[in-house]
Amino acid sequence: MIGVVPLLLLAAAVLAVAALLVRYWGALSEFRRARRMTAKLPGPPPYPVIGNALDLPYNMDDLYDTLSTFASTYGPLYRATLAHYTFVVVMDPEDMRVVMTSDKTAEKSSLYGVAESLMGRGLAIVNGDEWRRHRKAITPSLHLDILRDFVQIFSKQGAAFADTLGELADKGVMFDVTPLIGSCANQAICETVMSSDVDKDDPLKRDFLDAVPKAFDHFMYRIFRPWFLSDWVYSFHRWQFPDYLQMKNTFNLFTQRLIGDKKEALKKNEPLPQRKRQAFLDHVLSSEEGAALNDAELAEEVKTFVMLASASSMDALSFFIYMLAIHQDVQDKVRQELDDILGEDRGRLVEHSDLAHMQYTERVFKETLRIFPILPLFGRIATDDLLLPSGVTIPRGCQVGFWLPYVHRNPQWFPEPDKFDPDRFLPENSRGRHPFAYVPFSAGPRNCIGQRYAMMFLKTVAAAIVPRLRFEVPDDGPKCLEDVQLKMNLTMSVRGGANIRVHRL
């Protein structure tokens, strides 16, 4: 006679298997439904099981060109598949408006989960109530009142960056400006948002900066090889995984350093800056609103914030300088505007009141971000069927992508789209343009929380360097936009580096 305990164990096992079968069958049904509903959409022909995996380049340096070819061939809306994922790429502004503002596509793509262990489970990744709680805790620390106070720090970092560039000008060497900008951007983030004074030559800080672009490379490598989305499977990659673990450790150590130093300062009752609102780390550690984040969530947000802000500011300013180096006439106009604002004292620190007068410089940044959107590809997931104005229904469970290089170069909204023309952002030339035809910081409820911070940082550093220096591309460098070769990991950068020469004025 079978005992009671074995019977109970057997029943539990049967129920577990049944639950797995039900879950598997449900997932399979959703997968087949999504494929069936998107089968007639334009897109590259998929192979069985692997989908369009063979259409993707083995060398990730070629990924930008491949995705641009997909968009120009099948856009403005196409589907692609990769293993069990179904993607719908949306590039019509009116369709984008619906997707970016709908509750049915408010959640970030599930593929971002692969970045959690490196980048942190911060505002860029979390969804639902967790996202709302994080956003509510963080938003007050990026209020305009606080950003005004940051300008002095931005200006100081810009002046230090100008001094570094001046030393390289004296040597007459060609160099990649991107890593130097990364150090400047990271130092600014640490001193402002994190209110932490980490020495720019700190070894751990240098390791952190070196690891950021590598981390993004790992992210893209795994996204387009979905069999590596699992950390367990990725651990068998003998070349990639050890580097991955080392980066993870570097990010965690640097994050712990920032938070630990700030907590120690608060324990010593060191006074906080006297202002109505406090910067992010001060706010979270000293206010009731900030207390909504526990220690683990705070660490994740710090990691996310520092990584993304450093990388995006670095790439945006690199492209700006590169565009000035290629378009000398634009560089002269920016310099003239800044000379008019700063007067005879070109080296003085920029004040917040100066930024409003930098109208042409701001248009140059906007045009730079139109042609080179720093986050060229980002995505959401459809939690329910969504009907688009174009008549296409995105089925639930689909990954929804936006490819901004196609959107920002649509001749309907940007005549002569391959021409670098900052004046296309004059008020009279912007009138009537679809609001979702230009979204370098995304749009809707999940837009970039740091976009005002970014623009103020970029304009302030530009005011510190352009009046004192002239930028040129080397003789064998690009002569026009079409010559600029691009690389994409999570953000966009110049393939081979933004190599320039600098001259003192």
Question: Residues forming the annotated binding site for heme?
Answer: 448
Q: Which of 501, 493, 504, 490 is nearest to 119 (CA)?
A: 490
Number of H helices, E strands in the chain: 18, 12
Angle between helices 178-191 and 295-326 (to 10 degrees): 140
Query: Phi and psi dihedrals of 51, rounded to 5?
Result: 65, -125
The beta-strand segments (E) located in 26-170 are 77-82, 85-90, 107-108
| Burial 106-143, CB ≥16 within 10 A → b, else e | bbbbbbbebbbbbbbbbbbbbbeeebeebeebbebbbb
Burial class (CB in 10 A: 0-12, 13-18, 19+), 374: buried
For residue 46, the surrounding DSSP H or E stretch is: none
Binding-site residues sit at 448
CA 295 to chain centre: 24
Cα angle for residues 495, 474, 359 (degrees, 5° grid): 80
Gap between the Cα atoms of 273 and 419, Å rounded: 45
